[in-house]
């Protein structure tokens, strides 16, 4: 299975755990037997459990490359976008990367999906099936339609022509209001979760129709000049030969604090103390100091090097415009060699804690306009 995981995000909705270089998919808040893992680690682990030979490529920006290497190692393929140009240019670049860099054949299928769904292993079994359909069906594009569990305003909808497991597509619908979504569901509509499969050659042909390029290096160099356009507008809406495959398993987008608290095992990550009157309170604490909650009800508290959030759980979904008002440098980031955390900022100095992982090294560097003092601590 050839799998392209789309990894974007600007780190606003789960602030202060996320920032511009640490999007939600890299935050370790999912409990495992040995501690905690991030969404990208969970998804990658699940893929390899279902198909150990799966070829995984992550389409992402340069800012996320270090975090990917830090959490997944050096073996995963990465198609790096020089700048943001929406999903069609990103997928086109990844498709050319698969052909020219990884040697994927034109008749092989490629499955594209987000990097951060919260799903069970049956989802990845369905992705294998989706790829097989793209190779064996006459359709040029096969979408995964997720059976909705409620009338969501967050997703577009696919209305199929039948209730069979695989069927033709009648019509696509944009993100609706809740009332309109109820009507779509009554018609048998499915969520459009941005999951689809195609034969590599078909999408490369479409890319050459819309973009003048010769190979991967040429497209990479021209990337900044490309039109910002989604894959839906560039490909899906113009495709006549298209099918949808139903998926009825669990599928969650953990893009808000409300959604995140619903799947947390327990009410705390990190050091926190509750008194006996505290109700339905969740704490995620990345700082080395305790958080004490007394008499709190229906709130989420999160503390990191970026800041502190205290919010009603429902109101936390409205966080983005307020985070947009915060103007400060990145206080924490993961690198391929470890991580760094800003621990103090003065007018003429800055103190940074650098953690170097075992077996890794940093490049030697110097600065012309500032002095640097290193204090080494071996643990």
- Strands (E) in 2-66, as ranges, are 2-6, 30-32, 35-37, 55-61
pLDDT at 365: 66
How many of the other CB atoms lie within 10 Å of CB of 247?
24
Higher-scoring residue by pLDDT: 217, 12 = 217
**Please, are residues 120 and 250 in contact by the beta-carbon 8 Å criterion?**
yes
Instruction: For 87-97, write each residue's pLDDT tens digit.
Output: 999 999 999 99
pLDDT for 353 beyond 90: no
Of all helices (H) and strands (E), which one includes residue 89? helix 87-100
pLDDT for 286 beyond 70: yes
pLDDT at 338: 80
Instruction: For 160-171, write each residue's pLDDT tens digit.
Output: 999 999 999 998
pLDDT for 198 beyond 90: yes
**Beta-strand pair 338-345/350-356:** antiparallel
Q: What is the rounded distance in angstroms from the CA atom of residue 303 to the CA atom of residue 310?
A: 9
pLDDT-based confidence at 379, cuts 50/70/90?
low
pLDDT at 13: 85
pLDDT at 9: 67
Instruction: For 207-236, write each residue's pLDDT tens digit.
Output: 999 999 999 999 999 999 999 999 988 998
pLDDT at 239: 87
Q: Using DSSP, how many helices (H) and how many strands (E) does the chain show? A: 10, 22
Tell me the average pLDDT across 241-259.
89
> Which SS3 state, helix, strand or coil, does residue 268 take?
strand
Residue 195: name the closest of 154, 148, 232 by CA: 232
pLDDT at 155: 87
Domain map (residue ranges) of the chain: 2-253, 257-379
Task: Dump the DSSP string for 132-148.
Answer: HHHHHSS-SEEEEEEPP
Backbone angles phi, psi at 95, to 5 degrees: -65, -45
DSSP designation for 247: E
Q: What is the rounded distance in angstroms from the CA atom of residue 8 to the CA atom of residue 158?
A: 23
Tell me the average pLDDT across 308-333.
88
Which residues are paired to 333 by β-bridges? 340
pLDDT for 255 beyond 70: yes
Largest CA distance in the chain: 69
> Which SS3 state, helix, strand or coil, does residue 373 take?
coil
pLDDT at 23: 83
Tell me the average pLDDT across 67-71.
89
Q: What share of the chain in percent tops pLDDT 70?
A: 96
How many of the other CB atoms lie within 10 Å of CB of 150?
8
Tell me the average pLDDT across 342-350.
77
Higher-scoring residue by pLDDT: 339, 217 = 217
pLDDT at 10: 63
CATH T-level topology, domain 2-253: Spore Coat Polysaccharide Biosynthesis Protein SpsA; Chain A (3.90.550)
């Amino acid at each position: 299975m050839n799998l392209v995981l789309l990894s974007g995000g600007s780190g606003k909705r789960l602030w202060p755990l996320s920032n511009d270089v640490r999007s939600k998919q890299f935050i370790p808040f999912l409990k495992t037997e040995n501690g905690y893992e991030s969404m990208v680690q969970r998804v990658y682990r699940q893929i390899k459990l279902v198909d150990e030979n799966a070829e995984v490529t992550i389409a992402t920006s340069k800012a996320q490359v270090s975090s990917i290497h830090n959490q997944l190692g050096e073996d995963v393929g990465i198609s790096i976008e020089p700048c943001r140009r929406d999903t069609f240019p990103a997928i086109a670049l990844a498709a050319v990367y698969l052909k020219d860099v990884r040697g994927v054949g034109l008749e092989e299928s490629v499955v594209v999906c987000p990097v951060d769904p919260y799903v069970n292993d049956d989802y990845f079994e369905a992705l294998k099936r989706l790829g097989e359909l793209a190779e064996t069906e006459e359709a040029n594009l096969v979408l995964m339609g997720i059976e909705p569990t409620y009338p969501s305003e967050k997703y577009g909808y696919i209305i199929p022509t039948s209730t069979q497991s695989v069927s033709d597509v009648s019509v696509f619908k944009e993100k609706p209001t809740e009332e309109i979504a109820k009507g779509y569901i009554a018609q048998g509509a499915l969520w459009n979760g941005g999951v689809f499969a195609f034969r590599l050659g078909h999408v490369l042909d479409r890319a050459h129709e819309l973009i003048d390029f010769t190979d991967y290096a040429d497209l990479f160099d021209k990337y900044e000049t490309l039109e910002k356009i989604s894959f839906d507008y560039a490909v899906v809406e113009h495709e006549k030969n298209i099918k949808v495959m139903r998926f009825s398993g669990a599928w969650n987008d953990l893009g808000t604090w409300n959604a995140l608290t619903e799947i947390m095992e327990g009410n705390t990550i990190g050091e926190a103390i509750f008194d006996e009157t505290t109700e339905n309170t969740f704490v995620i604490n990345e700082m080395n100091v305790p958080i004490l909650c007394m008499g709190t009800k229906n709130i989420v508290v999160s503390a990191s090097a970026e800041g502190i959030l205290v919010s009603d759980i429902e109101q936390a979904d409205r966080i983005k415009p307020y985070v947009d008002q915060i103007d400060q440098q990145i206080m924490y980031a993961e690198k391929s060699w470890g991580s760094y955390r800003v621990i103090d900022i003065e007018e003429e100095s800055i103190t940074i804690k650098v953690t170097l992982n075992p077996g890794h090294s940093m490049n030697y560097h110097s600065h012309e306009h500032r002095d640097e003092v290193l204090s080494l601590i071996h643990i």
